[in-house]
Amino acid sequence: RIAVTDSLTGLYNRRHFESVVATDLALSLRHGDTNSIMVVDIDHFKKVNDTHGHKTGDNVLVDIATLISRSLRKSDLVCRIGGEEFIVLCRRTRKDESMRIAEKIRSSVENHSFFSVSGTRIPVTVSLGVVSFPDGGIAMTVDEHIQCADLALYHSKTTGRNRGTHYAELGTIREVNQCDA
């Protein structure tokens, strides 16, 4: 359990995520189910640590892990993949539903009251990138799907933060051809 769990948040880690998603990807291809992967990144997290200290930053991470978990269905999987980044597998979830879940996460974080250890309220938001598979029937690896979700996340970050973007919405500005599933 220690090898696949993040000690701070109690969520699973990237190693566990990759092994689970590999199986889910194979099942999706076999049965034609669409799943979605969502990358969630805390906006300006370094500023939280620099301004309020790492203990406050740790508290924010734990609170966000809880908020994400509460926004998901029992069949979904959330993992902390490092620093201020989380990844979610939404099983049997197409684009529209995955974006509803992304908005639920984004909104719950934005509306949550985060406080520093000294009691100061801290505004915290997240940006999200989402990809659904196997929408185009093209077989891609787990890493390629994560790369597509990262591109959508990057778009969310560069267009104002505190928003979610589905990879399919990137249209003609897609930066990696192999993501065109």
**Distance, CA of 159 to CA of 170 (rounded, Å):** 12
Strands 164-166 and 126-133: parallel
Helices 54-71 and 45-52 pack at an angle, to 10 degrees, of 140
Q: Please report where in the chains the tokens 């090898």 appear, as a residue.
A: 3
Query: Do residues 108 and 70 make contact, with C-beta atoms less than 8 angstroms apart?
Result: yes
- Active-site position among 84, 85, 97, 103: 84
Residue 84 known to be catalytic: yes
Looking at residue 89, the DSSP 8-state letter turns out to be E
- What DSSP element (H or E) covers 140? none
Looking at residue 72, the DSSP 8-state letter turns out to be S
Query: Do residues 164 and 106 make contact, with C-beta atoms less than 8 angstroms apart?
Result: yes
Strands 114-115 and 77-82: unpaired
Tokens of 2: 């220690």
Q: One-letter amino acid identity for 28?
A: S
Catalytic machinery residues = 84
